[in-house]
Amino acid sequence: VDVIVYENDANQAQGTTFNQNANDKYIYQIGVTWTGWQLVSFNYSQFKVPNTGGGLGNNQLNPNRLCGMALELDSYPTQSFEVSAYVDMVVVTENGIFQK
């Protein structure tokens, strides 16, 4: 599962079309190696610049500029396998990890 976040480095007004050429995009990859439910937590500092379309804003992790998020499901390391995953809830926290 890829978690992709977008930062509004260009200070675009809310409701305008997001300019991917002036803002940052980062990715965090979660290798799903288990069956059943699993709580997954990670720090914003673990996001990396993706191979395509990243680092086009100020190229610095700025969680206070977070303006969007996407989830992507990939077949890895071998492509073309049928994969499935359920995401129950996404929670973004400040100053600490999610507490059950």
This prediction has a pTM of 0.85
Residue 78, token pair as written in the block: 């071998």
Distance, in Å, from the CA atom of 76 to the CA atom of 12, rounded to the nearest integer, reads 35
- The answer on pLDDT for 76 being more than 80 is no
pLDDT band at 70 (very low <50, low <70, confident <90, very high): very high
Q: Is the dihedral of CA 10, 14, 18, 24 positive or negative?
A: positive
Q: What confidence score (pLDDT) does residue 48 get?
A: 95
Question: What is residue 48's DSSP assignment?
Answer: B
Q: What confidence score (pLDDT) does residue 80 get?
A: 85
Distance, in Å, from the CA atom of 78 to the CA atom of 83, rounded to the nearest integer, reads 11
Distance, in Å, from the CA atom of 17 to the CA atom of 14, rounded to the nearest integer, reads 9
Q: What confidence score (pLDDT) does residue 85 get?
A: 84
Asked if 21 and 54 count as a contact pair (C-beta separation under 8 A), the reply is: no
From 32, 31, 18, select the one nearest 68 (Cα to Cα): 18
